[in-house]
Every structure is written in C-alpha cells, then in structure tokens.
Amino acid sequence: MAKAKGHVPVRMCVSCRRRRPKRELLRIVRTPEGFVIDRTGKRPGRGAYVCPDTPTCWEEKRLRRFAGGSAARLALELQAVLGGEVRDGEGAHLPTGQGTGDGERGAHGAPGHDGGGV
C-alpha cells in the first residue's frame, strides 16, 4: 500500500480565480511601505496570490480586486519583475498602495450597503 502524501495547501489567484497548490503561486503582500513579493509565504500583512506563469494575471484590471487604485502601478511592477524573475530569497518592493482600495463599501462589498435589513 502506498503511503498517502500530506495535505497540500491550495490558494486562489486573485486575477484568474484558478485554484492551484500554494507553491505554484506568487504571494504579494501589502505592507505600510507598499507591495512586496513574498517568496517565503510568511511575511505579515494583507496578502494575495497571482499566477507567476500567466501574464494575463498581471493585468491592471484583474489586479484591482487586491490593489484597488494602485493596480496600475502594481501591474507595471509585476510585469517588470516577473519578466526578469526575482532572485530567490529576495523580496522585491513594489509601489506603495494608497489605502486598502475598499473605499466606502459595506459588509458585502456593495457601495453604501451596510448589510442591514429593509
């Protein structure tokens, strides 16, 4: 009888919404200093995952879910960094975000919706 492998963590790309093993995705962390590529997966902060091998996942429109108004700068930096690929173990600093990108949104993400009843 073959020994079963351990649990494989699965994460979802914020751009294409494809589920893949965590090790296959690239984590981007929002820190007070800006966005940072987290190769270790252990940096503190709000993080999101993108497919490093799919250039369409680095497009501004697709990154807005995570980066909000900073998506254009994040997209340019991802294209520059992933085009040349970051050396292992080094975190690449990406442009500073201008807040969380959530704006005036309520509990369910709808503008002005506070989740209350009728």
Per the structure, how many domains does the chain have? 1
CATH number of the domain bearing residue 28: 3.30.1230
Give the pTM: 0.66
Question: In this predicted model, what pLDDT tens digit does every residue of 90-105 receive, in sequence order?
Answer: 455 554 444 434 444 4
CA distance 49 to 11: 7
Q: Determine, yes or no, domain membership for 72.
A: yes
Look up the domain containing 84 and give its range: 24-97
> Do residues 70 and 101 touch, judged by C-beta distance below 8 A?
yes
Question: In this predicted model, what pLDDT tens digit does every residue of 19-68 receive, in sequence order?
Answer: 999 999 999 999 888 888 998 888 998 899 999 999 999 999 999 988 99
Q: Determine, yes or no, domain membership for 43.
A: yes
Instruction: Give the per-residue SS3 of 3-27.
Output: CCCCCCCEEEECCCCCEEEHHHCEE
Q: Determine, yes or no, domain membership for 12.
A: no
